[in-house]
Amino acid sequence: DTAVSQTPKYLVTQMGNDKSIKCEQNLGHDTMYWYKQDSKKFLKIMFSYNNKELIINETVPNRFSPKSPDKAHLNLHINSLELGDSAVYFCASSQGGFYNEQFFGPGTRLTVL
Amino acid sequence: AQTVTQSQPEMSVQEAETVTLSCTYDTSESDYYLFWYKQPPSRQMILVIRQEAYKQQNATENRFSVNFQKAAKSFSLKISDSQLGDAAMYFCAYRDTGTYKYIFGTGTRLKVLA
């Protein structure tokens, strides 16, 4: 069983398009995250939701909008895609306690042409 | 603001040998948690080991162990008996009790030579 799944795994699109990445976790966790990993492998947090409430919102262009319909899902919608948005986007989840690890999805490689 | 620094962009180790990856962090908090994650070429991030700051004993998981020096704010990862499957990017991460946020270092690419 896949703990944290993301769709799609690969996404190739043209500049200016709007796209969404979906994330689902079946671990019963209450917190979910979106990270962006650039070409130099730097992992930067973008957003986090706890029990469907936005709790972390880093300095991210407002073209990026997360949506959490329920605790098990956290989707990322990106408007007006730019070349610089090309990266691998990771979804992750964790459960409450601060000692608890994050479980990561397989990543979505987004390529903007 | 908390920061995590991994000063070694790349390391190499011979198979069966031991290697140590460095991580330092900066925080004014006294209670926090530290993690090492592994990212193999498959991209999947996997937890390797974790340490609670209030525990003086260094964490150990099979061939993986840490050297946690709280006063020096240092959290290095030692991999013993290195295997080809250990080749990956390794990320050090920090989380304190006041936030849901994990802060990651820039990563160290480990190559294992046969």
pLDDT in tens, B67-107: 999 999 999 999 999 999 999 999 999 998 777 788 999 99
Chain A residue with Cα closest to B53:
A99
Mean per-residue pLDDT, B33-39: 95
Question: Which structure tokens are listed for A7?
Answer: 């769709």
pLDDT at A101: 84
Mean per-residue pLDDT, B38-66: 93
Kind of pairing, strands B32-39 and A43-50? unpaired
Q: Token pair 């031991």 is at which residue?
A: B18
Mean per-residue pLDDT, A17-22: 97
pLDDT at A97: 67
Mean per-residue pLDDT, A77-96: 94
Question: Which structure tokens are listed for A6?
Answer: 């993301």
Mean per-residue pLDDT, A36-45: 90
Strand partners, B113: B14
Query: For chain B, which residues lie within 8 Å of any Cβ of chain A, measuring from their own Cβ?
Result: 32-33, 35, 39, 42-47, 50, 52, 89, 91, 95-97, 99-104, 106-107, 109
A6-36 burial, b at 16+ Cβ within 10 Å, e below that, comes to beeeebebeeeeebebbbbbeeebbbbbbbb
Q: Find chain B residues with C-beta within 8 A of A47's C-beta.
A: none
- Whether the link from the prior residue into A69 is cis, omega within 30° of 0, is no
Instruction: Inspect the interface and report whether the beta carbons of B100 and A88 lie closer than 8 Å.
Output: no
Mean per-residue pLDDT, B56-63: 93
Q: Find chain B residues with C-beta within 8 A of A99's C-beta.
A: 33, 50, 52
Q: Are A62 and A46 in contact (CB under 8 A)?
A: no
Report how far residue A30's alpha carbon sits from residue A66's, in angstroms, rounded to the nearest whole number: 16
CB neighbours (10 Å) of residue A69?
Answer: 9
